[in-house]
């Protein structure tokens, strides 16, 4: 039989451990923000695809570290499906004085002078048969990094997440309590609209 004093010490030790664990869980819960939870809804791309070759090297990491934000360069023009790339003239607002002797910046200046669009290669592509828009996601408060990963740490933009997979879309919609019926993204699945459902 355990002496009474030892029992009391044992019970107090268990209670102290429980308080310590509960406090640790509470702190962890406070540190987990909704955007972190949503970011977890879009897993990393397991395929680790190579970055496409771009016409001009560009580091999101370097530019975002200078205080630029996604919206400074990427606008959401009507109808809102895509985020646009900035015109070369926008880039030259800074680069007329910064790194102007760099071959890449001289190439950029050539695009700006001619008025031609820089032929950037899009990293993420919406799959055929899917109707999708950035506009609705921006209006819902979804942050760029939720779907595109830690862009602020990328020297070269790659398809870092599996955001274009059906699993990621459904999982994120379920976590966000957003509409997730088939016709949300596949309007051709709506009876009487477009093509017949794929399983017919």
Q: Is residue 41 part of a domain?
A: yes
For residue 147, pLDDT over 80 is answered with yes
pTM of the entire predicted model: 0.69
**Looking at the domain assignment, is residue 183 inside a domain?**
yes
Residue 108 Cα distances to 57, 68, 161, angstroms: 10, 19, 29
Q: Is residue 196 part of a domain?
A: no
Q: Based on the structure, what is the number of domains in the chain?
A: 1
pLDDT band for position 141 (cuts 50, 70, 90)? very high
Indicate whether 197 belongs to any domain.
Answer: no
Residue 74 has pLDDT above 90, yes or no: yes
Show the CA angle centred on residue 84, arms to residues 118 and 163, nearest 5°: 115
Mean pLDDT (the chain, rounded):
79
CB contact at 8 A, 109 and 92: yes
Considering only CA atoms, give the Rg of the chain: 25
With cut-offs at 50, 70 and 90, classify the pLDDT of residue 56. Answer: very high
pLDDT-wise least confident of 61-65, 71-75, 179-183: 179-183
Question: How does pLDDT run across 102-126, given as a tens digit for each residue?
Answer: 999 999 999 999 999 999 999 998 8
Residues 6+ apart with CB under 8 A from 10: 2
With contact defined as beta carbons under 8 Å apart, do 170 and 182 qualify?
A: no
pLDDT at 48: 81
Domain enclosing residue 142, as ranges: 4-189
Residue 175 has pLDDT above 80, yes or no: yes
pLDDT at site 36: 52
Does 14 fall in a domain?
Answer: yes
Q: Looking at residue 13, what is its pLDDT?
A: 42
152 assigned to some structural domain: yes
100 pLDDT band, cuts 50/70/90, is confident
């Amino acid at each position: 039989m355990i002496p009474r004093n030892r029992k009391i010490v044992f019970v107090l030790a268990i209670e102290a451990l429980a308080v310590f664990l509960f406090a640790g869980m509470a702190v962890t819960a406070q540190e987990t923000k909704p955007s972190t939870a949503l970011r977890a809804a879009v897993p990393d791309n397991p395929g680790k695809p190579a970055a496409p070759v771009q016409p001009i090297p560009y580091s999101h990491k370097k530019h975002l570290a200078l205080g630029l934000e996604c919206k400074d360069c990427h606008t959401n023009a009507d109808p809102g499906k895509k985020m646009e790339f900035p015109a070369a003239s926008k880039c030259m607002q800074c680069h007329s004085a910064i790194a102007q002797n760099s071959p890449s910046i001289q190439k950029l200046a050539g695009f700006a002078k001619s008025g031609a669009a820089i032929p950037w290669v899009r990293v993420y592509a919406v799959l055929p048969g899917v109707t999708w828009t950035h506009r609705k996601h921006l209006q819902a408060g979804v942050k760029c990094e939720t779907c595109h990963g830690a862009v602020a740490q990328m020297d070269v933009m790659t398809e870092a997440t599996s955001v274009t997979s059906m699993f990621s879309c459904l999982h994120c919609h379920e976590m966000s309590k957003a509409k997730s019926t088939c016709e949300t993204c596949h309007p051709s699945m709506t009876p009487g609209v477009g093509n017949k459902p794929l399983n017919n």
